Copies of this chain bind each other. A is one copy, B any other.
Amino acid sequence: MNDKPADPIRLLAEEYREMNGTHVQVLPGPPSALEFARLVHISRPVLIKRMQVPAVNLWTDKYLIKKLGTQTISVAVTPDGRADAIHKGPDGLDYFVEPLVETMSMENLLKQINSNDHGDIYYLQSQNGNLFSAGDEEGGTASEFDLLRSDVVSEIDWCSEALGRQPEAVNIWVGNSKSVTSIHSDPYENIYLVVRGEKRFTLIPPTDGWSLKERFYPHARFTRSTPSGKLEITPSPVDTPQVRWSSLPDHSLSESLPEEVKPIHITVRPGEAMYLPVGWWHHVEQSDETTIALNWWYDAESQGLQWAVLRTLREVERVSHANYNEN
């Protein structure tokens, strides 16, 4: 395994750093569609203040519990708050492990998140368009959060106009500092709004993806054999595709990066949104208090240089399998 980038990849990373640094633009309020189109072209993270979404003023625990009532919602359960992350399996090998998904009421979720015992960790992160998804207009199925839709906008108007398309998925996220999201990138343009609490992002540009030392990991899931049993890692059938994931440790990501890679740290607070451009690597932490966020995923532009570069950056890195060929 060669962790050094091939020459052109290293050069691109250097050119990118030289011209862009770690500057983050902060907007006092939402941009116009035209201003945002320019920002999409630059494709760097932007913090946007004073976002007007009703949820920001409405979503107290009491309101959410009353509004959702007995509606069941799907929640990720893990022993340590690391869903979709690398864990050591029962055989001592490393696996990419998806969380157990359990359904419960919002009241129960909020109770679990704020519980002080040292049991399992609950994080609402279903990210499947749980509020709105592109299929909805064609008579899509009811979402678990239909009852909250009137508090959320189904699209960010200046973003839809700038990109010339509707969101592919809109999601609600509920958790706290017990849950973290390990570093990864998405093939979407993303508007990420905080409703309550704080989200702390550690960001790395696409051109520095080589530094994350991705490996291929066998797939597994957290399961339990009885409803109140202990969570266990169950490897998936051997023909399940392996998952490409960073091998850097979640808890000390910034310290594990090569010296020349300078991560960007952005804290997003209630009523603020971050534009997270397609292909940017992000690691996400949350505040101790209950943290609620919304995000709007838009398909990225596939014509032009950017998409071709993002694909090339992913293809060009030689990535080994985690438990073999480790040198």
Contact with B along A272-308 (1 / 0, CB 8 A): 0000000000000000000000000000011111111
Say yes or no: A306-B308 contact (C-beta < 8 A), given A38-B164, A301-B41, A316-B7: no
- The answer, yes or no, to whether A260 is at the interface (CB within 8 Å) is no
Are A309 and B164 touching (Cβ within 8 A)? no
- Which residue of B has the minimal Cβ distance to A13? B308
Residue of B nearest to A312 (CB): B12
Stretch of A15-23, A87-95, A248-256, A319-327 that contacts chain B: A15-23
Whether the Cβ atoms of B207 and A305 lie closer than 8 Å is yes
In the complex, whether A154 has a CB less than 8 A from a CB of chain B is no
CA distance A42 to B20 in the complex (A): 20
- The 8 Å CB contact of A34, one of B19, B37, B311, B316, is B37
Question: Which one of A34, A163, A312 has the greatest number of beta carbons of chain B within 10 Å?
Answer: A312
Which residues from B are CB-within-8-Å of A79?
A: none
A interface size (C-beta, 8 A): 38
Tell me if A162 counts as interface (CB < 8 A to partner B). Answer: yes
| Given A37-B37, A40-B41, A303-B44: A12 and B164 interface contact (C-beta under 8 Å) | no
A→B interface (CB under 8 Å):
6-9, 11-12, 15-16, 19-20, 33-34, 37-38, 40-44, 161-164, 206-207, 301-309, 311-312, 315-316
> Are A15 and B311 also in contact (CB < 8 A) when A34-B37, A34-B162, A304-B20 are?
yes
A8-B8, A316-B11 known; A20 and B303 CB under 8 Å? yes
A275 to chain B: closest CB distance in Å?
A: 13
Query: How many whole Å from A312's CB to the nearest CB in chain B?
Result: 4
A19 touches B161 (CB 8 A): no
Task: Please name all residues of chain B whose beta carbon is closer than 8 Å to the beta carbon of A15 when the two chains form the complex.
Answer: 307-309, 311-312, 315
B-side contacts of A315, CB under 8 Å: 11, 15
Q: In chain B, what residue has the closest Cβ to A303?
A: B42
Bound state CA distance, A303 and B38, in angstroms?
Answer: 11
- For A316, list chain B residues within 8 Å (CB): 7-8, 11
Q: Which of A162, A207, A306, A308 has the most CB of B within 10 A?
A: A308
A40→B11 CA distance, assembly (Å): 24
Distance between Cα atoms of A213 and B215 in the complex (Å)? 37
Among B6, B40, B304, the residue within 8 A (CB) of A43 is: B304
The answer, among B16, B307, B312, for a CB contact under 8 Å with A11, is: B312
